[in-house]
Structures are given as structure tokens and as C-alpha cells.
Amino acid sequence: MINGKKVAVVLPAYNAERTLRATIAELPDIVDFRILVDDGSSDATVAVAREIGLDVYVHDSNYGYGRNQQTCYREALACGADIVVMVHPDYQYTPLLVTAMASMIAYGVYDVVLGSRIIGGGALTGGMPLYKYVFNRALTLFQNLLLGAKLSEYHSGYRAFGREVLASVPLLENSDDFVFDNQMLSQCVYFGFRIGEISCPTKYFEEASSINFRRSVTYGLGVLATSLKYRLQRMGFAHFKLFSAKGRKLDLRYYNSTPRELRGSLAEKQTEDF
């Protein structure tokens, strides 16, 4: 706990067997809940996670990174977490920063905290491919212009959220794919949550998950579409459920009435049941 706030770390996993132990070894003692959601891995991710004592939930198929996060956040809220930190189990970001990120929320400084690879130059020194760095900078400039924010990057997967953010943002209107991250952050800007950043070193290596060039382009196009939707809604020219206060949110009523061992498969029921 930090300042009386319970902290959960969620790990959206897919074939993370080789890096999971190293990731968990760096988690600080302040973490109250350690939750891994496996999205249909074909390796021993689930076995390793259970062996090292994580709370494990298993999707019955590979639904995608965005859907995995939805399950992660439902489980964290269901546990009673006040602060939720997403840590990728591929060991690309150091879990040692969890305490600092959670503290910024626990003491009311921010509602959302990002681990930025750009502040301090951690991206290129950590081995980020040059084309990804160029895409990152170009997309961030575009989004800052359209969203009216001043973030160093929108594309880090290392994030911490206060409970109110996860309970009130319409996350079920988002994509199941990688652009979920960007949509969620754009929603946080739209609904006025305070967003802070902290410098985060990163490591690119063979075992670290990283999307290929084709999927990077798909992600980039999704970012552009999200930003344009944001601006059109702000200007009153259009209305999107993505940015609607009445959009579908993480509803725990049905979820909490479901046996724990069946929750992982509920990813396929994300639409009307919640």
C-alpha cells in the first residue's frame, strides 16, 4: 500500500515464459495484488505464473492486447485496488518504477502516470528501432496538436491509473488490438484526467515483444483516426461512443457474480453482458 491506497500490478501476457520471472523479481514490496491475464499463450506462461504465485486468469482464445487489458482492469477493480499499474511481462520496462508511479497517484498529484521512453533519451539508447522512434515522434507531435496536450509520448505501455479513471472511462468502446493503448490515453485527455510522466529506461531484445513494421503502420493509422475523432467531437462536428460519457464501461456487477475460475473466458462476452 501507499498512503493507505491498495496497489495492483497487472500483466497482460502472451508467450511471456522466458521473461516473466525477471519481470516479477523487480516488483517492489508495496504491491498488494499481482495479476496476470494470459491471452491464449502457446508456451508455459501460465505454468510459470502459477509457480511464482501470481493471480492468474486465462482467456480461452487469443482475443488481442486490448481485450487482455480489459480483463486485467476488471480483475484489479474486483480485488479492490485503488491504483493499478500495467507492467508488460516482457521485461522491456523496469518494474522498479512502480513505486514512483503509484506514489504520484496515491498522493493526489496525478490521475494517470506514464513511463516515458522519450524523457531522458531512453528510447534510442535502449535500442528502439529508428523507424519506430521517428513514428513515435511524428505521431506524438500530431496528437499534441489535435488533443491540445503536451505529452512527451503517447505510445508507452508502462502506465498507472487511479481507480476512478478505470471505472469511468468507456473502455469497452475501444479496439481489441494495440491501438487500445492510444484510445485509452486519448479518452483520459478528453475526460480531463491529470496525466503525468516519468523518465523510463527501456530494453529492446529478442525476447521482448514488439510489433512488426506492418502492424506498426496499422497502429499508426489507428492513432491518426483516434486523434481526428477526438478533434471532430471537440469541435461538435461528430459524436463517437469512444468519447461519450454514456459509452460502455467496465461493469463489475455480472463479473463479480461469476466464479473466479471462469472469469478469464469472459473476454468473449465483453459486449452486451457487461
The whole-model pTM stands at 0.90
Average the pLDDT over 194-202 and give the result: 93
Q: Is residue 259 part of a domain?
A: no
Q: What is the mean pLDDT of the chain?
A: 90
Q: Is residue 108 part of a domain?
A: yes
pLDDT band at 27 (very low <50, low <70, confident <90, very high): very high
3-class secondary-structure state, position 203: coil
Domain that holds residue 165: 7-254
Q: What CATH number did the domain enclosing 192 receive? A: 3.90.550.10
Give the number of domains in the chain: 1
pLDDT, position 273: 41
Q: Is residue 273 part of a domain?
A: no
Q: Is residue 62 part of a domain?
A: yes
Rounded to whole angstroms, the Cα distance separating 140 from 136 reads: 6
Q: Is residue 266 part of a domain?
A: no
Q: Is residue 37 part of a domain?
A: yes
Helices 180-190 and 65-79, interaxial angle, to 10°? 50
pLDDT, position 265: 59
Backbone torsions φ then ψ of 21, nearest 5 degrees:
-60, -45
Picking from 70, 67, 77, 72, the residue whose alpha carbon sits closest to that of residue 57 is 72
Q: Considering all CA atoms of the chain, what is the largest pairwise distance in Å, rounded to the nearest integer?
A: 53
Set of cell numbers at residue 64: 488481442
pLDDT band at 120 (very low <50, low <70, confident <90, very high): confident
What pLDDT, in 10s, does the model give residues 61-100?
999 999 999 999 999 999 999 999 999 999 999 999 999 9
User: Does residue 268 surpass a pLDDT of 60?
Assistant: no
Set of cell numbers at residue 130: 529508428
The residues, ordered by sequence, that sit 6+ positions from 59 with a Cβ below 8 Å of its Cβ are 37, 38, 39, 40, 67, 68, 71, 264, 265, 267
Q: Is residue 242 part of a domain?
A: yes
Lowest average pLDDT, out of 38-42, 121-125, 183-187, 221-225, goes to: 121-125
Q: Is residue 200 part of a domain?
A: yes
